[in-house]
Amino acid sequence: MRNQIEYTVYGDYALFTDPFLKLGGEKMTTHIPTYEALKGMTESIYWKPSIVWIIDEVRVMNMIQMESKGVRPLKQNGDNDLAYYSYLRNVKYQVRAHFEFNEQRTELTADFNEHKHHNIAKRCVERGGRRDVFLGARECQAYVEYEPFGSGEGAYDHVEEVHYGMMLHGIDYPNERGNKTLATRLWAPVMKHGVIEFIRPEACTIRRELSERSVKKFEIGETMQSVDELYDELVGEQG
């Protein structure tokens, strides 16, 4: 597929929270990363408002293990409380994603350079990302390396199917959806031989609208760096 990147992301712990599993201040991770969590990781590797990352598939490399920890989160009055968070432990995923231009950003059409965005994204994968990468929560530091999707042996390569039921797919943001409504999407993922193939955001039929939000405007050369300047900085000068 055009504009596609592949990478592996791993870390000691992961916390992929679901809004339905945050009752009473406790947090429990889902067994697999959500589309939105993987999109956030990919945006930490490389993001510009002129592109939108589409997550194609993820491969679960390590056995799914969980560990609970006692934590003291801050309360609104400044005190802290005792809570238990359930994390995934020793996680590793292979991710395949591609970008498309954000057609809602008509003010950024001059930044729609497919070749330069793709080369910058691949260079950022090799460097481990432009920003810090986290596995769902900030306390779960992640590390990114280039690795071809499908390489190596995964813990679930010989497991035919695992069904996870209804869970969060992602969030519709106004700057990508074309209106001012913020909404959540749900779907029912199935892991086949360790691989979860994601449906596209617009293919999700179950949505819940949350609120209306405004869209921040960008201006090339003023509030954002052009892809041409960034290409010369990261790729062009090094051949």
* 0.85 surpassed by pTM: yes
Asked if residue 93 has pLDDT above 70, the reply is: yes
- Indicate if the pLDDT at residue 164 is higher than 60: yes
Answer for the pair 218, 106: CB distance below 8 angstroms, yes or no. Answer: no
pLDDT in tens, 177-229: 877 889 999 999 999 999 999 999 999 999 988 888 888 888 887 788 899 99
Comparing C-alpha atoms, which of 145, 168, 163 is closest to residue 95? 145
**How confident is the model at residue 1, as a pLDDT?**
73
DSSP percent split of the chain into helix, strand, coil, nearest 5: 25, 35, 40
| Cα Rg of the chain (Å, integer) | 19
30 pLDDT above the threshold of 80: yes
When mean pLDDT is compared over 70-79, 82-91, 172-181, 197-206, the highest value belongs to: 197-206
Give the distance from CA 122 to its chain's centroid: 16
Q: Return the pLDDT at 215.
A: 82
Mean of the per-residue pLDDT values of the chain = 90
Domain spans of the chain? 4-238
Both structure tokens of 202: 């617009």
Band (pLDDT 50/70/90 cuts) for residue 14 is very high
- The CATH number of 4-238, from 3.30.70.2660, 3.90.1150.10, 3.65.10.10, 3.40.50.300, is 3.30.70.2660
Name the maximum alpha-carbon separation found in the chain. Answer: 55
Q: 107-111, 155-159, 197-201: which range is least confident on average?
A: 107-111
**Residue 178: what pLDDT?**
76
Note the pLDDT of residue 76: 67
Nearest to 227 by CA among 46, 55, 7: 46
